[in-house]
């Protein structure tokens, strides 16, 4: 019953968010701040994880594909495909759900319990629109950039690990990443990323916005934001994959 009630609250909140902002320049300023906080500040963690994941994938593939009948460039090809299709859009979104989602939920939740949201409402500002719309927009603008960055760094990580360990000769790896490229895979990755960006920011904002109580509840909201975003990411990953790739 609580689940249906929460879904209802979420559905009612979203139209409040997607209203025309009161003042364009205030929205743009807030958007710029959110792009920095949500996007730019996540570059470091995305870079580290992407490079290492690419490296690990390449080594694991090399370890598993040791048949002389399978050409070595297949390792480069498989690393690239895994990164584009799944690792960068889905795995990175889950990382961002942890980093960005918890931040949004705790920031808005703290504003709720310290009456800052009430203050906005009393002033005649639509708090959902003012606080949440720039965050959703920032994530939907910047997450595709981060995922593209992650794909390139992952491929780079695979090349470094293959070359350094000698498991995949550089020539073979580079040949593999250039072969059998399907451009639609990138479109598919970006569509998923946009959907996940919306899920992460809207669910986290909803969790923060509806907090009641004190610091303990803000902590719970933050945890729930991450857990629920991740569950929804996996569910929508399956749905989108079924819709777009079959």
Partner 1 sequence: MIEVQHIYKSFDGHPVLEDINIVFEQGKTNLIIGQSGSGKTVLMKSCIGLFPVDQGVISFNGRDFSSLPDKKRRHIRQEMGVLFQGGALFDSFTVEENIMFPLNMFTDMTPKEKKERVDFVLENVNLGGTNGKFPSELSGGMLKRVAIARALSLNPKYLFADEPNSGLDPKTAERIDELLYNLTKKFNMTTVINTHDMNSVLEIGEKISYIHKGKLWWEGNHKEILETDNPELNDFVFATALTRRIKK
Site for partner 1, rule CB under 8 A: 22-23, 25-26, 33, 110-111, 114-116, 118-119, 121-125
The minimum distance between CB 16 and partner 1, in angstroms, equals 10
Nearer to partner 1, 22 or 179 (CB): 22
Nearer to partner 1, 33 or 170 (CB): 33
Annotate 58-77 with b (16+ C-beta within 10 A) or e (fewer).
bbebbeebeeeeeebbbbbb
d(CA 109, CA 204): 10
Nearer to partner 1, 64 or 114 (CB): 114
Enter the tokens of residue 93: 């979104």
Enter the tokens of residue 205: 């904002």
Nearer to partner 1, 4 or 25 (CB): 25
Question: Distances from the Cα of 29 to the Cαs of 115, 131, 208, in angstroms?
Answer: 23, 12, 22
Annotate 11-35 with b (16+ C-beta within 10 A) or e (fewer).
eebeeebeeebeeeeebeebbeebb
The minimum distance between CB 13 and partner 1, in angstroms, equals 14
Instruction: Please say whether the beta carbons of 88 and 151 come within 8 A.
Output: yes
The minimum distance between CB 215 and partner 1, in angstroms, equals 13
Which residues, including other chains, have CB under 8 Å from residue 161's CB and lie 6 or more apart? 54, 55, 56, 58, 59, 167
The minimum distance between CB 89 and partner 1, in angstroms, equals 30
The minimum distance between CB 193 and partner 1, in angstroms, equals 27
Q: Where are the beta strands (DSSP E) in the chain?
A: none
Nearer to partner 1, 126 or 185 (CB): 126
The count of other CB atoms within 10 Å of the CB of residue 233 is 23
Nearer to partner 1, 97 or 131 (CB): 131
Looking at the chain, how many residues does it have?
A: 246
The minimum distance between CB 5 and partner 1, in angstroms, equals 15
């Amino acid at each position: 019953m609580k689940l249906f009630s929460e879904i209802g609250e979420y559905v009612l909140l979203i139209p409040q968010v997607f209203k025309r902002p009161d003042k364009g320049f205030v929205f743009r300023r807030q958007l710029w701040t959110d792009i920095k906080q949500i996007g730019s500040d996540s570059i470091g963690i995305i870079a580290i994880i992407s490079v290492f994941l690419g490296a690990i994938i390449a080594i694991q593939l090399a370890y598993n594909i040791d048949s002389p009948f399978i050409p070595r460039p297949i390792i480069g090809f498989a690393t690239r495909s895994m990164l584009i299709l799944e690792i960068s859009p889905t795995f990175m979104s889950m990382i961002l759900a942890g980093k960005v989602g918890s931040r949004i939920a705790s920031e808005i939740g703290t504003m709720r319990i310290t009456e800052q949201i009430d203050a906005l409402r009393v002033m005649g500002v639509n708090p959902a629109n003012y606080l949440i719309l720039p965050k959703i927009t920032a994530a939907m603008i910047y997450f595709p950039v981060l995922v593209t960055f992650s794909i390139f760094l992952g491929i780079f990580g695979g090349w470094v690990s293959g070359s350094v360990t000698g498991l995949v000769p550089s020539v073979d790896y580079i040949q593999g990443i250039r072969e059998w490229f399907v451009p639609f895979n990138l479109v598919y990755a970006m569509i998923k990323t946009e959907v996940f960006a919306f899920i992460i920011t809207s669910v986290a904002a909803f969790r923060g916005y509806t907090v009641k109580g004190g610091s303990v509840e803000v902590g719970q909201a933050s945890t729930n934001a991450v857990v629920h975003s991740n569950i929804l990411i996996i569910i929508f990953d399956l749905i989108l994959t079924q819709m777009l790739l079959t």
